A and B are shown apart, each in its own frame.
Chain A
């Protein structure tokens, strides 16, 4: 029997939320253990910022903003464990047992846990999205951050959300502008915006930034098409053509690389594997774990950052700090007078920020009927190659929920464990059975939430 290692506090994720939580705890003399998948800290936004591969002029201010946090994280006394996959969590006593693979398997017990596992890009089916040559905008940005890698061909960018425009702008700065930007957000969004002048005012900084980026792209001669409502990738061994529908007409364009982005949603696996209740949030168009005002989901479990709902990097950092304050209070066993003002200020700023984000949600809202109008043979589940038609037939034959559907079609049974298809399946079920997303729910997620090899498990590390 291998004994498990003990930690008073464990944090999962070294993005802005996890880093800020760890730094704040270390300031108070408490030393958490922190597990993260990547080789260096930073999470999604600040990836590779400790050893940047591209200059500030290309990446923009938001990337640079993380510098002080990454530096504070490097200085603080934290048991930071990079390249560590947390592959299961279970409740044990008043705390949590964790299965971790860091080269070899380890087991841990943590008295208190902060989940800061962040977000992922939304899986959003369209014909040909499984072809080599289709990648997400986030993936392309990871190549830029990790190794200053630029595409050797002019890419087509398509989708909706700030990250799409950020990447287009970064490619422009790097001297590799995209061939074309196709904006697939709902056509009704400007009308929706006009109905919400107060919201527009709160989010004016976001608006301004977006307008500036689009203007810079257009000045450089990059066509930005709004109101595109269909996209397809075609080719045999890889993408050869991109088709898109604009103003009711399909157009075809030779292209080898299509970079897509359809917004980000919380990375669901760890919270789902603990069966934490979730609810569908219509603004974000995503299932979010239910958290209290102080980010608690259980007495000794907090969810901080984009893993609890999309608020962006600055908000994630704040939420990390807020979770740290809650942990400190929980350790002390009573309210800490000295922390009350800090907490109130963080909460005020958080509310203001989240209010401003609502504008982005309106602006980048994806069309709600997207899936139903995709051709029948469009893959919904990439891992098991299950098409929309097959999913719909299983629903007609009586598959009543996501888990039955999985058993009927193998949808969601592959190695990604439904990360790419979970939302689509729930949407199709909700549409077909005329129920709410909450009534439909989501797959039951069981460990391992990350693949572990038998070799890794066999090589259990001595404690």
Chain B
């Protein structure tokens, strides 16, 4: 799990998104992948097509291990999509999505 530092600057506004149906409030500067890491941590982020558990490695668009469903679209690179008010995020825990 990642937590917001007590020394964080108070310059981010919060947005509400839903992760697997549950409403959470996160800083609006985060990517979807970062938000999920804050809310749930790395465990349970995604299951790969070979059945193995996976989670974001690089957070900068190169590894593609952050694939996640955003507003109904599967396999988005979660680290390249910023969070937005009302966004629906679903972790791809079930295996195949391609």
Contacts and interface: CB of A to CB of B under 8 A. Distances in A.
Given A136-B57, A451-B64, A237 B43 contact: yes
8 contacts: A52-B9, A83-B82, A135-B55, A142-B60, A142-B79, A146-B31, A152-B2, A382-B65
B29 A51 contact: yes
Nearest to A385: B50
Contacts of A149: 2-5, 30, 34, 37-38
Contacts of A152: 1-3, 41
Interface of B: 1-9, 11-12, 26-27, 29-31, 34, 37-38, 41-45, 48, 50, 52-65, 67, 73, 75-77, 79-80, 82
Interface residues of A, number: 56
Contacts of B60: 44, 120, 138-139, 142
Given A53-B8, A453-B73, A130 B52 contact: yes
A41 to B, nearest CB: 13
B58 A121 contact: yes
B1 to A, nearest CB: 4
Contacts of A52: 9, 11
Nearest to A453: B73
Contact of B57 (A44, A55, A58, A135): A135
Contacts of A134: 57
A175 interface: yes
A55 B7 contact: yes
A238 B58 contact: no
Given A51-B29, A132-B43, A416-B63, A148 B8 contact: yes
A230 to B, nearest CB: 20
A420 B63 contact: yes
A419 B76 CA distance: 18
A414 B5 CA distance: 36
A147 B34 contact: yes
A37 B9 contact: no
A419 B9 contact: no
Contacts of B37: 143, 149
A48 interface: yes
Given A51-B29, A120-B62, A174-B7, A147 B38 contact: yes
Given A131-B53, A419-B63, 7 more contacts: A39-B82, A44-B60, A123-B63, A139-B59, A143-B59, A149-B4, A238-B55
Q: Which 4 A-B pairs have the closest CB atoms?
A: A148-B8, A132-B55, A139-B59, A415-B64
A132 B4 contact: no
A445 interface: no
Given A133-B55, A414-B64, A419-B62, A53 B75 contact: no
A237 B40 CA distance: 14
A238 B53 contact: yes
